[in-house]
Amino acid sequence: MLSAKQFKLTKTKMLAYLDELERAGEIATTLYLPPGISQTEVDSYLRQIPAIAPVSAEVSKNIVTSQTGAVIFWGQTNRRLIVPPFPIKDKYVTTGYDIAPLRTLLMHDYRIGIVLVRLGSYAIGICEGETLILHKAGTGLIHSRHRQGGSSAARFQRRREDQTHHFLERVGGHIREIFEPYTKKLDYFVYGGAWTTIQQLQKQCDFLRQFDDRLLPPLLEIPDPRFTVLEKAVPQIWPSRVLEWRDN
């Protein structure tokens, strides 16, 4: 029986992990699958690896739900599924441990737009690889929710909504200022912060729609955005998620 262990690896550790795998030198199968393929097609590819059958449902679920696709390295002792930080482009199956396409993906210095926002604070920037090349951060006054009822609470709520609208309008202006010269030069785009605020910003800022086809999974475990938070968010884009199956 096989049991799974899941963990994340930074870019540097992931590259070392791949090098170790390549040195294993055993009979194996490598499978690259991009995001967005159907459950039926995934299962069809997995049937090309008979030894994966005992955990095929778990493997299939992780592939189908991944926003960036997945890579499977399945051998006699190494049984691994890797969800990379950036999308796999092509379907590819071969024998042995072929780490080259994944290594190339991880080594590329992508240009990425970043928008971190919570009500009352924002940080936006552009990174090349893991280096932040442009940034802007700021705050805005938004009162906390009113805890009592009555007409005063209704007035307070309208005031809060007005403050939120103006804050997001200002953030949208800064987004255009930073990103407009790079609209066709960004490889990917990532949001972080509070998901409800991100959704409000997306609705209010039409400029952001042009990046919808380049979105990476959001970074939601982000505290109140500021420059130091933005700096720390950049390396959070790069880790790969790894699942390993071992004999009990």
Same domain, 91 and 20: yes
- The CA-atom distances, in angstroms, between 87 and each of 21, 50, 214 are 21, 26, 10
Same domain, 73 and 104: yes
Same domain, 93 and 147: no
Same domain, 125 and 83: no
Is residue 243, in this structure, part of any structural domain at all? Answer: no
Domain count, the chain: 2
Same domain, 131 and 184: yes
CATH of the domain at 36: 3.30.960.10
106-135 confidence digits (pLDDT tens): 999 999 999 999 998 999 999 999 999 999
Distance CA 154, CA 83 (A): 47
Q: Which domain-ending residue is among 62, 90, 108?
A: 108
Can you give the residue range of the structural domain that contains 190?
A: 111-236
Same domain, 64 and 83: yes
Buried b (16+ CB within 10 A) or exposed e, 56-90: beebbebbbebebbbbbbbbeebbbbbbbbbbbee
Considering only 2-11, 104-113, 144-153, 155-164, which range has the smallest mean pLDDT?
A: 144-153
Same domain, 90 and 12: yes
Q: Which domain-ending residue is among 108, 142, 168?
A: 108
Longest dimension (CA), the chain: 73
- State the pLDDT at residue 165: 85
Q: Which domain-ending residue is among 46, 74, 108?
A: 108
Q: Which amino acid is at 5?
A: K
